A and B are shown apart, each in its own frame.
Chain A
Amino acid sequence: MTITATDHAEVVTHVLAQDVALPVGTFVLVTLDNGFDHTKPNTFGPAGIAELQAVVDTLAERASRGEIVGVGITGKPFIFAVGADLSGVPFVRDREQALEIARAGHRAFASIMDLPVPTFAFINGAAMGGGVEVALACDYRTLSAGLPALALPETFLGLVPGWGGCYLLPRLIGAENALKVIVENPLAMNTMLNGPKAAALGIGDVLLPPGTFLADSLRWASGVISGDITIERVDPTGDEAAWNAACDAAAGLATLKTGGRSPGVLRAIELVRAARTADRQSAFAAEDETLGDLIMSDELRAGLYAFDLVQKRAKRPAGAPDRALARPVTKVGVVGAGLMAGQLALLFARRMGVPVVLTDLDQERVDKGLAYVRGEIATLLTKKRITQDTANFLTGLVTGSTSKDGFADADFVIEAVFEEMSVKQRVFAEVEAVVSPQCVLATNTSSLSITEMASQLSHPERVVGFHFFNPVAVMPLLEIIPGEHTDDAALATAFATGRALGKTTIRVKDTASFIVNRLLGRFMGEFSKIVDEGTPEHVANAAIAGLAPMPPSVLMELVGPAIALHNGETLHRAFGDRFYISPHLLALVEARKTTPGAVPPRPELAQPVVLDAAAARARILDALADEIGRMLADGVVAAPMDIDLAMITGAGFTFFNGGVCPLLDREGASERVLARRLLPAGAASVPA
């Protein structure tokens, strides 16, 4: 069959071959180039793979005629190749089609391996997935010392490195190192290797300076062909015990991180395990079958959907006003000098490079806030994340005062004071007395009404909710909430500021606890209720493993029981009994007031209700589906995609679940509760 049977336009990575004259003879330099600049990296779709196959076939003939002494493959400036073109995957409708994608890549890459002359990959720029696998198909690899990113990110999305990666990489660098690249890094927020780190793992044979990388690589290749340079490699397949131990360890990690519910990563580990003794043909066939299964899996489709959200939707927030309306922000005020305020001050100073004034009620609190900021700057300096000059600059930017007079020329003032409406209203009134009428007043409230907070001001149109997640330097999400009177200029300024702070911004309607805290509240509430009613905690944990990055009890300890309780109570007040207040949590918070770390015993239940994991899971997912249904009906967000983007970037929900909505569709929760899907079939799943 042909492999162009996808109904979408491929950006074809062309395979350009030129002869170059090396001292050892005629060498063919192959360039991968899709004709665009580095912002559109090289990828391999069916047409690109076909072109590669055709070029390699020609080279095989030339090599057999003795016309060429070697072949080198490199990329366009800054980009080697970033893997398979996954934009066509949503259009793949049957397994045979999926298998053919896998097989075509294998055929082309195997043809490279079978060339009768030495083959080289000159990895000049970003290399991921299939790009790395092309390089692995070559006999030798040079790496640019300036290489920014090399990775096999497939398991991050719910796939396996299935064009030879699971077979060739462990046989080159050993199972332990290979699994770092195939499993550990993808599951650690999709970490990438730079040139020196990739070289240290043994992925490249030599690290060369970026300026003259290609000429140096060709010189090196010439030396290898002439025999002046020899590369010694150790065969890692001999040590069965070490090999299997590495696979077991990776499987343990994968289970911990995904609850065993992401098939891609576990299948990848099994392929690596088999690679020790498998021959190429059977290993590639196993990769084909695995890819066939996974491309047709809902988890991969959800992973691609999630990837698209964070890559595209995150950059164009739904409902944000015209960017041109945003006013410049050249100075920032932060009301409050507590821990959150200190984090905010540092973030504004670091990301925006503007003066930040911290205020609080007394000098002691101000000093404490400033001391926190300076401590953090000192830490950054010690870790060499910033230079001494930058440290001096940042230190100078952040000042503190007990007076709000310093806000007079600020363009953006954010409050991070006690979570109480009257306190926040008073603070805003005091700020309004000092600032210009255009100055945006932002609140980091996690639950209170923006409209109400603005109601007593002369200029309520400048108030906007600006809700960060802890720790603010790390968590990407920023919920932006306009009040009833918020004007487009203030809202546009808020979005522009969020963007300048490097955050993923999502517009949310002014409703209690916005998106993430509301859904986490419902999630944790239902979880607590199930446990309180008698299901053992470990069963409940197992039921929802892989949904959130950690079990609810661990998350609760991380945010603090009092804050978790406060969130639950706020939601209970706003929405009623469907938000459960756990007596156990109340007791825990009470006990902690006197005894840190105390965990009060649970009461004996007269009639415990013990659910099995499947039933517990269904109940929790149903609760989430119910809450999301209500949020969408109420217009809390523009679309379910915003809920997923928020849960991924604000709560660490996983890609293979697509955040949460694809999971609820996949497991039937949305059908059960809402009698409809949340997303159309095929959007984050295999089309029926």
Chain B
Amino acid sequence: MPRELHDVVFVDGVRTPFGKAGEKGMYAQTRADDLVIACIQELLRRNPGLPPERVEEVAVAATTQIGDQGLTLGRLAALLSGLPNTTPGYSIDRMCAGAMTAVTTTASSIAFGAIDVAIAGGVEHMGRHPMGEGIDPNPRIIAEKIVDESALVMGKTAENLHDRFPQLTKARCDAYAVASQTKLAAAYAAGRVQPDLVAVATRHTEKGWGLATADEPPRPGTTLAELAALKTPFRPHGNVTAGNAAGLNDGATACLLASATAAAELGLPVRMRLVSYAFVGVEPEVMGIGPVPAAEKALRSAGLSIEDIGLFELNEAFAVQVVAFLDHFGIADDDPRVNPWGGAIATGHPLASSGVRLMTQLARHFEEHPEVRYGLTAMCIGIGMGGCVIWENPQHADFGKEN
């Protein structure tokens, strides 16, 4: 049987404001599943043209699939969001690239023709579920030196990256981090971030209910001098600090994907078209380099080169890992095409949720930049991987034409 491949479009994306993990964080007593449910319900509210029963898959990522992040979260979140019980769902884990994988996996189902409409997202409540909760690494990892011990501690892999690329100095990373804070503050001041934030009611037994309406982690006004004074927790006199890395955070994201045909039929907006994607493995000890081969592979499969990319949304797990990417492709650390509203160093990085934040923001950048045809979202992934998704801007004059 001849098979037609379907174009996949990004319709809409939202996220909760991101919180600081821990007792003092705004989501300290708010359930993880409730965060992602709030996102799914917001997507349904914002897209009244979408009959709920047309959602044919809900994929939700979480790195730690325990407790309120367990129990086939995608399916339960669908039910709790008020989707009909005919909508199936599943959970995804690819560490930091969970939501990104939720997007590429459901997109593949759409492209294959198995479904027309999907919701993909992710959640990580690192306060309720600290990284590594309940893990049981196989002793062979150490015994057979499959990977170095440092590969399981993300901060150490970032230090390792500094070793591999001595030109990526702490000073460069700190400067990059300050810029991230500054750019996010500017985006907030201009009201650019807020439209895609879902206000979340926050429960707290001592403080009462509150409403999360803005990110908690940003530190606008951070200076280089302040960053220089921070401790390097992963290595004495090292390079990686709490200031040039994303923190430990709570938050959730979700986006709506559809086949181009279904989007047209239902009158759903086409914000981006999926061009290509790739996930690639690298040495786990330097997992931060992962986005480089992933981007190369995705570009190759799209028949594009790095010069064709007009906007980048790169996850900032660590400044060094972003700078390594930019360095590799010969892009300046302060290139305006890169993370125009700052990145995870400022907003926070609730692991499995972050991928969709990159896409939601890229879609907004596309609206502001009709001259840009292609954009790229990429992130490094624990245990030595990188992920990259390339998107096309429907605002561009040549949208949909052959290259």
**Residues of A that sit less than 8 Å from B by CB:** 16-18, 20-22, 29-31, 33, 35, 74, 77, 209, 211-215, 218-219
CB distance from B335 to the nearest CB of A (A): 33
Which chain B residues lie closer than 8 Å to A215 at the CB level? 38, 198-201, 211
Whose C-beta in chain B lies nearest to the C-beta of A72? B209
Known contacts: A215-B199, A215-B200, A215-B201. The answer to whether A30 contacts B41 by CB under 8 A is no
**Interface hits, B218-251 → A, CB 8 Å:** none
Contact B81 A211 (CB under 8 A): yes
A75 nearest CB neighbor, chain B only? B209
Q: CB distance B208 to A17 under 8 Å? A: yes
Q: Is the CB of A20 within 8 A of B208?
A: no
Identity of the chain B residue whose Cβ is nearest the Cβ of A222 in the assembled complex: B199
Asked if residues B213 and A18 are in contact (CB atoms below 8 Å), the reply is no
B211 touches A218 (CB 8 A): yes
Tell me the smallest distance from the CB of A215 to a CB of chain B, in Å. Answer: 5
A452–B199 CA distance with the chains assembled, in angstroms:
71
Contact for A29 among B38, B81, B209, CB less than 8 A: B209
Interface pair B38/A212, CB less than 8 Å apart: yes
CB-CB under 8 A from B199, the residues of chain A are 215, 218-219
Complexed CA–CA distance, A74 and B211 (Å) = 13
* A111 vs B267: C-alpha distance when bound (angstroms): 50
Which residue on B lies nearest to A32, using beta carbons?
B208
If A17-B208, A212-B201, A215-B201 are given as contacts, then 12 extra A-B residue pairs at C-beta distance below 8 Å, sorted by A number, are: A18-B207, A18-B210, A33-B208, A209-B41, A211-B37, A211-B41, A211-B81, A215-B198, A215-B199, A215-B211, A218-B211, A219-B199
Q: What 6 A-B pairs are tightest by C-beta distance, nearest first?
A: A31-B208, A16-B208, A214-B201, A20-B211, A18-B210, A31-B209
Give complex CA distance A30, B210 in Å. Answer: 9
CA distance in complex: A668, B200 (Å): 60
A212 to B34, CA, bound (A): 9
Knowing A211-B41, A211-B80, A211-B81, the reply to whether A35 touches B211 (Cβ < 8 A) is no
**Does B203 belong to the interface (CB within 8 Å)?**
yes
Query: Is the beta-carbon distance between A29 and B200 smaller than 8 angstroms?
Result: no
A264 and B201 alpha carbons, distance in the complex (Å):
40
Q: How far is the CB of A76 from chain B (nearest CB, A)?
A: 8
Whether A218 pairs with B201 at a CB distance below 8 angstroms is yes
Q: Complex Cα distance A30/B42, Å? A: 24
Shortest beta-carbon distance from B19 to chain A in Å:
15
Chain B interface extent, by class: 20 to 34
Nearest A residue to B211 via CB reads A20
Q: Is the interface of B mostly helix, strand, loop or mixed?
A: loop
| Chain B residues, Cβ within 8 Å of A33 | 205, 208
| Nearest neighbor of A36 in chain B, beta-carbon distance | B205
B195 nearest CB across to chain A (Å) = 11
Question: Considering the chains assembled together, what is the distance between the CA atoms of A209 and B44 in angstroms?
Answer: 13
Any A CB within 8 A of the CB of B186: no
A216: shortest Cβ distance to chain B, in Å? Answer: 9
Residues of B within 8 A of A209 (CB): 41, 82
Q: How far is the CA of A9 from the CA of B201 in the complex (A)?
A: 32
The verdict on B309 contacting chain A, using a C-beta distance below 8 Å, is no
Q: Is B402 an interface residue (CB 8 A)?
A: no
Q: What are 6 A-B pairs with beta-carbon distances under 8 A?
A: A17-B208, A33-B205, A211-B38, A211-B41, A212-B38, A215-B201
Residues of B within 8 A of A (CB): 37-38, 41-42, 80-82, 198-201, 203, 205-211, 213-214
CB-based contact A29/B41 at 8 Å? no
In the complex, A29→B207 CA distance in Å?
10
A209 to nearest B CB, angstroms? 6
Contact residues in B for A16 (Cβ distance below 8 Å) = 206-209
With both beta carbons as reference points, the residue of chain B lying nearest to A19 in the complex is identified as: B210
**B81, B199, B210, most chain A CB atoms within 10 A:** B199
Q: Is the CB of B209 within 8 A of A214?
A: yes
Query: Given the complex of chains A and B, what is the CA–CA distance between A660 and B199 in angstroms?
Result: 55
Q: Give chain A residues whose Cβ lies under 8 Å from the Cβ of B37.
A: 211-212
**Is A77 touching B41 in the complex (CB atoms < 8 A)?**
no
Complex Cα distance, B213 from A39, in Å, reads 31
- Which A residues touch B82, using CB under 8 A? 209, 211
Interchain CB contact under 8 A, B203 and A21: no
Q: How far is the CB of A395 from chain B (nearest CB, A)?
A: 25
Q: Which residue of B lies closest to A209 (CB)?
A: B82
**Residues in chain B near residue A20, CB distance under 8 A:** 210-211, 213
Q: Which of A16, A17, A212, A219 has the most chain B CB atoms inside 10 A of its CB?
A: A212
Given A209-B82, A211-B82, are A74 and B38 neighbors across the interface (CB < 8 Å)? no
A214–B209 alpha-carbon span in the complex (Å): 9
Q: How far is the CB of A563 from chain B (nearest CB, A)?
A: 49
> What A residues does B213 contact at CB under 8 A?
20-22
Give complex CA distance A29, B204 in Å. 12
A29-B203 in contact given A209-B82, A211-B82, A212-B41 (Cβ < 8 Å): no
Question: When chains A and B are docked, how far (Å) is the Cα of A17 from the Cα of B210?
Answer: 9
Cα distance A211–B211 when bound, in Å?
A: 15
Q: Are A21 and B205 in contact (CB under 8 A)?
A: no
Given known A21-B214, A211-B81, A215-B38, contact A35–B209 (CB-CB < 8 A): no
CA distance A611 to B210 in the complex (A): 67
* A77 contact set on B, CB distance < 8 A: 203
Instruction: Among A29, A211, A213, point to the contact of B208 (Cβ < 8 A).
Output: A29
Q: Is the CB of B205 within 8 A of A29?
A: no
Q: Which of chain B's residues have a CB closer than 8 A to the CB of A212?
A: 37-38, 41-42, 201
Contact partners of B205 in chain A: CB under 8 A: 33, 35
Task: Report Cα–Cα, A219/B201, bound state, in Å.
Answer: 11
B44 to chain A, nearest CB (A): 10
Q: How far is the CA of A21 from the CA of B211 in the complex (A)?
A: 8
- Output the least CB separation between B172 and chain A (Å): 36
Contacts of B42 in A (CB 8 A): 212
**A17 / chain B contacts, CB cutoff of 8 Å:** 208
Chain A residues lying within 8 Å of B207, measured Cβ to Cβ, are: 16, 18, 31
Complex CA gap A215/B41 in Å reads: 11
A18–B80 CB distance below 8 A: no
- Nearest chain B CB to A218's CB is how many angstroms away? 6
Contacts of A218 in B (CB 8 A): 199, 201, 211
Residues of chain B within 8 A of A21, CB atoms compared: 211, 213-214
Find out whether the CB atom of A18 lies under 8 angstroms from the CB atom of B81.
Answer: no
* Complex interface: chain B residues within 8 A of A30 (CB): 208
Taken together as a complex, chains A and B put the C-alpha atoms of A218 and B202 apart, in Å, by 12
Q: How far is the CA of A74 from the CA of B207 in the complex (A)?
A: 13
Query: Could you say which residues of chain A place their CB within 8 Å of the CB of B210?
Result: 18, 20, 29
